[in-house]
Amino acid sequence: MALDGTLDAGGAERFCDHLQRPLARGHSPAGALTGAAGGGACGDLIRLSLAVADVADARILDAGFDAGGCGATIAAGSATVGLVRGRPLLEAARLGPEDIAAELGGLSPGKRHAAELAADALHRALGLAARQRARLTARPGRVLVAMSGGVDSAVAALLVARGCGDAIAVTLELWADAENDGELSCCSAQAVRSARALAHGLGLAHLSIDLRAEFRAGVIEPWLAGHAAGLTPNPCVRCNGSVRLDAMLELAQRLGCEALATGHYARVARGQPGEPPLLRVAAEERKDQSYVLAALGPDSLARLRFPLGELPKQRVRELAAEHGLAVARRRDSQDLCFLAGTRKRAFLQRHGGIAPRPGAILDGAGAVLGEHPGAHDFTIGQRHGLGLGGGGPLYVLGTDTAANTVTVGPRERLRTGTVTVRELTLRRPAESVDGVRVRSHGRRLGCRLTEALAAGRHERAALALAEPSERTAPGQIACLYSGELLVGHATIAP
């Protein structure tokens, strides 16, 4: 390709050859798995189909494609077919837009999107193949690394690759919403592209897994139902406990990996022989993420690695900068991944049909102080968004979705000395519990369980706090600790 961005004679010839005599256009091998990308405003769409052998290296036996839109998309699909035929799955997973563009002799900036769409389609097909066909021979030391496109997972991948020399990266596409800001989300199509570029820059094979259906059913629908019922559910605990990490642990097994590494700030305490592992808070406790990992069972923890658990966040950013990672200064995501750039109220209406329903704001005596747009939109402890002027600050003390009322009062009325929980899971007997965290980044509060409960599942229990604390909304998670060890979790009851 010439310095001015135009194709040289050789490059133009290769581009024209793929455009005029495309490889396997319209061909779909028997039993193929298909990935698709595009179809947006530009009209360009590509589908890539792969026939993958169910053998040790999951070799790509055959491939075909179909494409619509501009000629560059057709050429890129043809080039991708030529690149992947005969390659083992993990070799194909190292291919990106640069490789496809190079196969075409280079692409001008205006045609670059064709290579990106082809790479997206390829990696979606490879992800399906990895989940459904791959059964790679187990290799000691091989690790699957979860990459979200942010600095934490990028440095985790860097440390794993440097430590074991045999790492594979994976990114999950969990949610797609035209109303979201894809750049702010860790699970959007844009995040997948960013993570793939980071992984390839580290020399890693990268797979993208489409879990949008599972995420909708296992996380979004319960979250919507919880809000409709007047609860404030925590979707991250559910996602990590039964959707996201489960899928990646299963993939790790298929790829012959002995462990899954993530960029979470947490540690695993292995304990004595025969004792199941437990989560332990991160060395830098203000960044600790044991709360959102609370629902992970011992079998999952035994196969998890947290390379950042001993590191302060500042050192993580320094490592990213030292190794030239483009995300070294990228700001951390502060919102739920599926809300990125979207207001919760709008999301509830669009995806859950929970429309505004004006109702009364009441004081503790039942007097009407004002009007709210819907009780489902408020949570206990909330101060802002009430629209009440004058007097001292007021906080939400309770909501009633059936009556559609919100009750408010002074902050001191939020304080309580007991917390009632339901669906309690204890990993250790009740007497070991000495602390509870009721918010993701809240401080651990001293507490004890009021009953002598054995390790296991319990329908309901009560916690006595060492000192009164502000109440937390029903539906949130209470994580129970013994010192630095997470020994149980439950849901806060109304």
Q: Hey, what long-range contacts does 213-220 have (CB within 8 A, 24 or more apart)?
A: 214/243, 214/247, 215/174, 215/175, 215/187, 215/239, 215/243, 215/244, 215/338, 216/175, 218/242, 218/243, 219/174, 219/243, 219/338, 220/175, 220/338, 220/351
Six token digits for residue 180: 């979201």
Six token digits for residue 173: 């596409």
Q: Whole-angstrom Cα distance, residue 264 to residue 145?
A: 11
From the candidates 187, 239, 447, 479, give the one annotated as an active-site residue: 239
Q: Is the dihedral of CA 282, 285, 289, 290 positive or negative?
A: positive
Q: Which of 71, 85, 83, 176 is nearest to 114 (CA)?
A: 71
Neighbours of 448 (CB within 10 A): 17
Assess contact for 335 and 184: CB atoms under 8 A.
Answer: yes
Q: Whole-angstrom Cα distance, residue 365 to residue 478?
A: 30
Neighbours of 368 (CB within 10 A): 11
Assess contact for 182 and 188: CB atoms under 8 A.
Answer: yes
Is 186 a residue of the active site? no
**CA neighbours closer than 13 Å in the CB half-sphere of residue 428:** 19
From the candidates 187, 236, 337, 479, give the one annotated as an active-site residue: 337
Query: Which residues are CB-neighbours of 298 under 8 A, at least 6 positions away?
Result: 276, 277, 278, 427
**Residue 156 dihedral angles phi and psi, to the nearest 5°:** -60, -45
Is 479 a residue of the active site? no
Q: Whole-angstrom Cα distance, residue 79 to residue 10?
A: 15
Query: Which residues are CB-neighbours of 74 under 8 A, at least 6 positions away?
Result: 18, 19, 22, 25, 67
Which amino acid, residue 97? P
Catalytic positions: 239, 337
